[in-house]
Amino acid sequence: MAKEGIQFTTNDSVKELINVAVQLKNKARSVLKIIDSFIQAIGAFKLALRQSPYATSEGAKDRSAEINPIVTTGYMLSKMERRARQGKRLAYLSMTEPRVDGDKNADVVGTKTYFSWLTLIWNGTITKAGECFSGNRHETLQKIVNGDDRTLIGISRYFTSNPDLVNRLKNSCPVTPCDRSTFFTNDNKRHLNFSKFGDGEDHSGDYVQPTALV
């Protein structure tokens, strides 16, 4: 143990730590500056922060980055929590879970543990999505609902395939998976043909084009 301690405090190790600290500060500077400006203008309670630590789109490197996303995002959240303790807590924190890569489903292995570190840093309200419907949907959702009093649940995408989603959850009925490939298309296919539980699909409006109201 003593030997490891000596190695950790060598000049090279200290330089590496300083380099990481500088990178973290630089990455967060512009975002924090913008947030502080908005806090001053309209108040923290009207603001929310969205973070995507595990994204791989638009140049992001996910867990393959030189500095793990937990470190970079954790640094940002620690700064936000410090502001919160000064009376400047944001309305909520929205985290993009590692279930989506751009507009496609991502590898979700280990999803349940990826964000276990969040509540160790941020003590405010958090929005969750994606994981809420993993595994046994009703049990998972119930566990999240009963877990604490500061978690908001986002399940809007499932309304596209379950127009009666509220009743299905209330009565523990099966939930129809949503079709992500049709989220950003130019027609109504898979937007209007999903039906209530027990009813057949209606494809009559798949290719109906929108018309001007006036």
Q: What are the pLDDT digits (tens) for 154-174?
A: 888 888 888 898 898 888 888
> Rounded distance, CA 67 to CA 127, Å?
25
Which tokens belong to 55? Answer: 């994204």
Is the model's pLDDT at 114 over the cut of 50? yes
pLDDT of residue 75 exceeding 90: no
- Which band of pLDDT confidence, cut at 50, 70 and 90, is reported for residue 2? very low
pLDDT band at 112 (very low <50, low <70, confident <90, very high): very low
Greater pLDDT, 115 or 152: 152
pTM assigned to the model? 0.68
Reduced to 3 states (helix: H, G, I; strand: E, B; else coil), residue 132 is helix
Residue in 33, 16, 28, 127 with CA at minimum distance from that of residue 75: 28
For the chain, give the longest Cα–Cα distance: 79
pLDDT of residue 29: 87
Name the packing angle between helices 11-42 and 69-84 (round to 10°): 50
Of residues 163 and 4, the one with the higher pLDDT is 163
Proportion of the chain in helix, strand, coil states, percent, rounded to 5? 45, 10, 45
Helix, strand or coil, per DSSP, at residue 29: helix
